[in-house]
Structure 1
């Protein structure tokens, strides 16, 4: 009885070891398949597993160094951008005076884009009331904040297509409301 258990445990160890080797071989093949082909001057079959592992380690080190170099370049560009951003903001503000009202007429629909600063407050419902008074029904409205600017976008549909909406009048009233 004792002899049988020792034989079965020896067989179990052999099976476990064989499975481990098969698993390691599969992992090494997967690793080798991830490496770019230009690294292998001779064919992959001619390289030993040890050589393939060393090649993979060198390639990973090169990639790591490249990533670190790219991070340094990115940080340097961020610092340069930060230094010039104050003058860029000033020049952008000269070209764009807030608040901005843009109105696009698409026939039966209107798109209103309002850009204001964070410190300029106006009641959003008043903008919707202006559109409603002028014969448009608001379909959707959204806003997003980017930096120190708030972008409002409103989509409205003309209630009575025969009458339409006088976009110049709507634009005028919105300018008065916001400014």
Structure 2
């Protein structure tokens, strides 16, 4: 009978070894947590007890959760339910397309804010700018949620009359309506 007991105990890990492995695993996890959490306290991490380190980690996680909640709240203030820009940023939510035209010297900048459903607006705006004899230098877009921000940078002649800029602006605004 003794041989059966010894064969069973040799095939089954000893409780002491299992507990030792568990403690080592927990120590490793605590060490990883401690290395991830940034401590702002003047005392060094090594001088903190394990309980204090876990308390520090808990505080750190709660602070990060509060920051995330604040950032989500700010985002919600900037973006309405449909993902369009809030009127706080100066854009009307009633119009599907917002257009701004800025001129500095011989540089013309056209900014369009549209929804995803207004795919043709960008190419049409470039066509209008080109028809008015402006040279498109750069054109790009960026999508945020369901809002698309288009930017067209063009060069107008040094001697370009301001009526040309007014005509471009007028055509773009008529087009957007």
* TM-score computed with the length of structure 1 as normaliser: 0.57
Secondary structure in structure 2 of the residue aligned to 1:162:
coil
Q: CA RMSD in A?
A: 3.9
Contact 2:83 2:146 in 1 (8 A): no
Deviation at 1:173, TM superposition (A): 0.9
In structure 1, the residue matched to 2:107 is 109
Identify if the C-alpha distance between structure 1 residues 36 and 142 changes in structure 2 by more than 3 Å, giving closer, same or farther: closer
Residue 161 of structure 1 is aligned with which of 158, 171, 174? 158
Deviation at 1:178, TM superposition (A): 2.9
In structure 2, the residue matched to 1:39 is 43
Instruction: Kindly report which structure 2 residues correspond to 1:57-68, keeping only aligned pairs within 5 A, or say none.
Output: 57-68=50-61
Instruction: Tell me how many residue pairs correspond in the alignment.
Output: 135
Deviation at 1:62, TM superposition (A): 3.1
Identify if the C-alpha distance between structure 1 residues 57 and 101 changes in structure 2 by more than 3 Å, giving closer, same or farther: same
* Distance in 2 between residues matched to 1:56 and 1:106, nearest whole Å: 62
Q: Structure 2: where are the runs of 5+ without partners?
A: 1-34
Q: Structure 1: where are the runs of 5+ without partners?
A: 1-30, 41-51
Larger displacement relative to structure 2 (116-125 or 70-79): 70-79
1:150 paired with 2:122, answer no
Contact 1:143 1:150 in 2 (8 A): yes
Larger displacement relative to structure 2 (84-93 or 55-64): 84-93
* TM-score computed with the length of structure 2 as normaliser: 0.58
Larger Rg belongs to: 1
Identify if the C-alpha distance between structure 1 residues 111 and 56 changes in structure 2 by more than 3 Å, giving closer, same or farther: farther
Deviation at 1:134, TM superposition (A): 1.1
